[in-house]
Amino acid sequence: MIALRHLSVVYLAAASSFAVAIALSQHPTWNAAAHAGARIVGEQGASAAVALNDYVLQPGWTATKTGSVAFFKVAADKFNMIPQNVAARAPAKPVVVAQAKRPAPKPVEIHRPSIVASYQQKKLMPPPAPQLATPSLRPPIVESEPVVQPKPNTVVAAAPKYSLAPQATQPIAPKAPAQLAPPPINDHPPSAAELARVTQHFRSSLTREMLANFELFLYVSKADHGVAAQRMYVFQKQDSGDLVLLHNWPASTGREMVEYAPNGTKAPSFTPAGYYELDPKRMYVHHVSGQWQQPMPYAMFFNWEDHGYQTGLAIHGADGAEDISLLGTRASAGCVRIAPENARVLFSLIKNDYKGLMPKFAYDKRTATMSNQGVLLHNTDGNLQMAEGYKVLVFIENYGGENVVAALF
């Protein structure tokens, strides 16, 4: 800091010397006065120079320590550098500003509400808004290992926590489909003696023309009780004309009442007794009743027209556990139901082995109804009228297997 001050003094002295030199060169009067001052210093000796204690310019523009003070005094007197007519300015008096007095602050009265008022105010004030935590940009630290998705049909073994070892897998053997046991059927097959009696009864129900022109016979009992009730008997004709019993299955015929179908129509659930042929144009492996909205697998419709309408009576398989469990009772809407596997066997047997010419049943044009009483149609020559179809005759009767002869005694 002291060195900077010395440098500043030297700089100011040098600048002043150059300024004086320029002034002397431009003003001859100032130059002559400077030389006169120099002579005074020379005549009085070194003491005068020391008293002056300043620098002046000598000829040749060299700076020497001379009586600079005397020089500047002579120059000021010569040129009247300081004005004489300017009175000395008295120092200005400080201005005193009066400060305004501030009013004294009034005492603040603090009202402390009662406990009841404070409670009421808390009830009226809305609850403070919940402070939502600012979500952190840093993901949370989870002390668990990444989940490895196992391959299909594998069992993932439990791995210890913080373990980086791969998890062991063990293949699973595919499970076999569950084999559901078939529902029980209300099956009480007749004895051998009862079957012989049913066979004899059915044979006596056939005319000579029926026995001669049909090859397979389906006998259905629609009775609600008896050893032969609610069963289907399948007879095959031999070359000798004898009937052999092939199958003896439980069945379900109509509930024998008038009721409302699911479609909202009022319909009877009767199974009319009589003789029927099968309609070759209406044999379906898969069918659904439009009126009763029920599946009818392996459906074989009757070729029977009643008052101008082709009826919906058929032989088909029971659908669902409930219908199967009701076999052996009156449970259908009018059709003849048998077990699904029995319906498939019968459907294949008829379609594969019994297609051919069959006799037509008589037709009443006045009522537009086909006979179901076993009357066959003949031409004018007395011969039976034949048509392509299946040589199968269905006979439905309300017979429970009673011994009519024994009942007479």
**pLDDT band for position 325 (50/70/90)?**
very high
Q: Confidence class of residue 116 from pLDDT cuts 50, 70 and 90?
A: very low
- Residue 82 has a pLDDT of 47
Name the strand (E) or helix (H) holding 57.
Answer: strand 54-58
Alpha helix stretches (DSSP H) within 45-114: 46-52, 68-79
Report the C-alpha gap between 303 and 286 in whole angstroms.
Answer: 19
- What contacts 360, CB < 8 A, 6 or more positions away? 376, 377, 384, 385, 386, 387
- Domain 192-407 indexed as CATH 2.40.440.10: yes
Structure token digits, residue 31: 């130059």
Q: Is the pLDDT at 140 greater than 60, yes or no?
A: no
Complete DSSP assignment for 186-214 = ------HHHHHHHHHHHHTTS-HHHHHH-
Q: According to the model, what pLDDT value does residue 406 have?
A: 44
**φ, ψ (nearest 5 deg) of residue 84:** -90, -25
More confident residue, 347 or 12: 347
Give bridge partners of residue 233 from the DSSP assignment.
Answer: 219, 248
Q: Read out DSSP for 373-403?
A: SSPBPB-TTSPBPEEEEE-EEEEEE------
- 361 forms beta bridges with 376
CA-CA distance, 113 to 254, in Å (whole number)?
A: 90
Q: Collapse the DSSP code of 271 into the 3-class scheme (helix H, G, I; strand E, B; otherwise coil) and give the result.
A: coil
Would you state the structure tokens that stand for residue 238, as one six-digit string?
A: 């031999």
Higher pLDDT: 394 or 30? It is 394
Residue range 189-207, pLDDT digits in tens: 889 999 999 999 999 999 9
Mean pLDDT of 67-84: 54
Distances (CA, A) of 192 to 189, 227, 276: 9, 12, 27
Q: Under 8 Å CB-to-CB from 62, ≥6 apart: which residues?
A: none
Distance of CA 409 to the CA centre of its chain: 77
Dist CA 36 CA 108 (whole Å): 85
Q: Where are the domains of the chain?
A: 8-79, 192-407
Q: Cβ(213)–Cβ(203) under 8 Å?
A: no
- Averaged pLDDT, 94-103: 56
Distance CA(353)–CA(247), nearest Å, equals: 16
- Give the pLDDT of residue 110: 52
Confidence grade of residue 188 (pLDDT, cut at 50, 70, 90)? confident
- Indicate the range of 140-149, 183-192, 361-370 predicted with least confidence: 140-149
H helices of 151-290, in order, are 192-203, 208-213
> What confidence category does residue 8 fall into, taking pLDDT thresholds of 50, 70 and 90?
confident
pLDDT of residue 355: 97
DSSP 8-state symbol, 333: S
Q: What pTM was computed for the model? A: 0.56
Nearest-Å Rg of the Cα atoms of the chain is 69
pLDDT band for position 263 (50/70/90)? confident
Residue 15 confidence (pLDDT): 73
Mean pLDDT confidence for 145-174: 50
Query: What pLDDT is recorded for position 159?
Result: 47
Instruction: Specify the DSSP element, H or E, that contains 234.
Output: strand 231-237
- The pair of three-digit structure tokens given for residue 133, joined into one six-digit string: 């935590």
Q: Predicted confidence band at 4 (pLDDT cuts at 50, 70, 90)?
A: confident
Cα separation, 181 vs 196, in Å, equals: 32
